[in-house]
A = this chain, B = another copy of it.
């Protein structure tokens, strides 16, 4: 029960180490560490990383985790698009593909796309299917993570309680992990920007508004898997905007893309949809900029509560509205730093996504990698190797 410890240490340090260093850090004997390292090298998870400088005798060989040992497939399924990518164990994308695909087409159509694209991506990355170690999938709706099924999804007809892992495993006999799309985006940003952050909130603001919550280092899904549903919190600014949920003044009915577009239309501006809005903001349209900034303030109003409540160290803002430059996040900061308690905001960072449209696939890959490199999985693999 200790091979995984050596690997975990090597992974945490995130830099090449010698066997002697590993022995000192773990407290194990040099010979024991050597045996463990041998197993990890035969698994391919660890490789020599050249020699370190000699201190008078034989130079010690450096060891490092080998991201190229295996690959994972990350899949990000949105309402009207799909994206898939092959990543190595460091989370680096090796091949990627995107398509306009309606999730409403149902599991058979969508998962067939996933299967064909997965094969194509593996070929593109020049990796055999046997190199594929796990698959992570993000779905646009509430998901029961433990079973991999969508539960009462509002925009995914035909997916309710559908056994996604079973379907995918018919083509690829590897672990398949499913989660909500916003949750995996949170994971993606965590791994890309703040790999050590234990309390991070990711906000996706585009057609809808949702949050992914990482608290205590763990993704929080809530009792029914609907945690992070901030879109239907009522904003402070009095509003009679009717939301599709039936209530009035919901954040989503005030600050989401369609709501902003509608407001600009009412003011005589020809703004068709969210993408159009983003274009106009980028083009420097003053009215559009002001509308987006106000939406940022409205979101900041809700985020101020979130910050007081869960006290994160980082808030990452993503989604289409975050790609309008700094206007949106400026509105958010404006309100959060005013409304939240100084203790909670003292070390708080509010930043925009750095991975943009890739946060979903990156997070799905990260989720799969986390599974593959978990201590349990490594123990399992080392046992299978010796037997």
Which residues of A290-346 are within 8 A (CB) of B? 301-302, 304-306, 308-313, 339-341, 343-344, 346
A232 near B: Cβ within 8 Å? yes
Select one of B224, B304, B339 contacting A346, CB under 8 A: B224
**A304–B251 CA distance with the chains assembled, in angstroms:** 13
Q: Does A227 contact B (CB under 8 A)?
A: yes
Contact A223 B309, beta carbon cutoff 8 Å: no
B233-A308 in contact (CB<8A): yes
* Segment 197-246 of A: residues with Cβ below 8 Å from B: 198-199, 211, 213, 215-216, 218, 220-230, 232-234, 236, 238, 245
- Whether A247 sits at the interface, judged by CB under 8 Å, is yes
Q: Does A142 contact B (CB under 8 A)?
A: yes
A347 within 8 Å of B by Cβ? Answer: yes
Interface size on A, residues (CB 8 A): 47
Contacts of A225 in B (CB 8 A): 311
Most chain B beta carbons < 10 A, residue from A227, A339, A348: A227
Q: Which of A256-315 contact B (CB under 8 A)?
A: 301-302, 304-306, 308-313
Q: Return A317 CB to nearest CB of chain B, in Å.
A: 16
B199 touches A222 (CB 8 A): yes
Report the separation of the CA atoms of residues A349 and B27 in the bound assembly, to the nearest whole angstrom: 49
A236 to B233, CA, bound (A): 11
* Complex interface: chain B residues within 8 A of A124 (CB): none
Q: Which of B211, B224, B304, B313 is in CB contact (< 8 Å) with A344?
A: B224
Contact B309 A232 (CB under 8 A): no
Query: Which of these, B1, B215, B306, contacts A215 with CB under 8 Å?
Result: B215
Other-chain contact of A152, B216, B339, B343 (Cβ < 8 Å): B343
CB of A224 within 8 A of CB of B308, answer no
Cα distance A216–B346 when bound, in Å?
26
Q: Which residues of B contact A220 (CB under 8 A)?
A: 199, 215-216, 310
Chain B residue at minimum C-beta to C-beta distance from A201: B309
Inter-chain contacts of A348 with B (CB < 8 A): 223
Counting from the closest, the 5 A-B pairs by CB-CB distance are: A222-B311, A223-B313, A227-B311, A199-B223, A233-B305
Can you sample 15 A-B contacts with CB below 8 Å? A199-B220, A213-B309, A221-B311, A223-B311, A224-B313, A224-B343, A226-B311, A228-B309, A228-B311, A229-B311, A230-B305, A230-B308, A232-B340, A233-B305, A245-B341
